[in-house]
């Protein structure tokens, strides 16, 4: 025998094969660094709906047209978020409003809803309807146009 005595061959661990990529995926999980800031605590998501609101002016009522605004969703003045919270009391509700999302927490339900428009979180209004067990949150939309950010709740002098 020539050379040092043979030792047991080291067995290298085989790398785990990657799961087959879905041909319909746009990104793979490694490419998206999404961090869930709210761990799942087992509470289900509350049912909700988002409704666009628009103030009606005399021009809208009598002339049927307001030359300053488009009648569509793009000129809505506020968002109305209705959250159904069955079995909840007003004292148990936590509400956190930001410019782009709303977080509602109750003992049995929770909700984190991303808003379709940027809103003015400081000028919102929330009302609790105990009979329907519904929280209604009205938030003025911030319109970003040629003149910068304009809140729908700003009034002209």
Q: Above 90 in pLDDT, residue 18?
A: no
The angle at the Cα of 156, spanning 137 to 68, to the nearest 5 degrees, equals 85
In a domain, 115, yes or no: yes
Q: What pLDDT, in 10s, does the model give residues 79-135? A: 999 999 999 999 999 999 999 999 999 999 999 999 999 999 999 999 999 999 999
In a domain, 33, yes or no: no
Domain count, the chain: 1
Q: Above 70 in pLDDT, residue 147?
A: no
**pTM strictly above 0.85:** no
In a domain, 89, yes or no: yes
Q: Above 60 in pLDDT, residue 146?
A: no
In a domain, 55, yes or no: yes
Within 10 angstroms of residue 122's Cβ, the number of other Cβ atoms is 11
Residues spanned by the domain of 145:
47-151
pLDDT at residue 23, as a whole number: 74
Model confidence at 157, in pLDDT bands (50, 70, 90)?
very low
Dihedrals φ, ψ of 24, to 5°? -90, -5
In a domain, 121, yes or no: yes
d(CA 52, CA 96): 20
> What single-letter DSSP state applies at residue 63?
I
In a domain, 38, yes or no: no
User: Which is more confident, 66 or 26?
Assistant: 26
First to last CA, the chain: 102
């Amino acid at each position: 025998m020539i050379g040092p005595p043979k030792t047991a061959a080291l067995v290298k661990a085989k790398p785990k094969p990657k799961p087959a990529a879905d041909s319909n995926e746009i990104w793979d999980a490694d490419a998206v660094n999404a961090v869930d800031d709210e761990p799942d605590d087992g509470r289900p998501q509350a049912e909700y709906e988002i409704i666009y609101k628009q103030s009606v002016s005399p021009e809208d009522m009598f002339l049927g047209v307001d030359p300053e605004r488009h009648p569509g969703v793009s000129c809505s003045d506020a968002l109305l978020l209705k959250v159904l919270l069955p079995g909840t009391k007003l004292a148990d509700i936590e509400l956190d409003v930001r410019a782009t999302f709303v977080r509602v927490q109750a003992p049995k339900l929770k909700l984190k809803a991303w808003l379709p428009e940027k809103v003015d979180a400081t000028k919102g209004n929330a009302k609790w309807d105990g009979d329907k067990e519904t929280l209604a949150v009205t938030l003025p939309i911030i319109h970003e146009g040629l003149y910068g950010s304009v809140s729908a709740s700003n009034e002209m002098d």
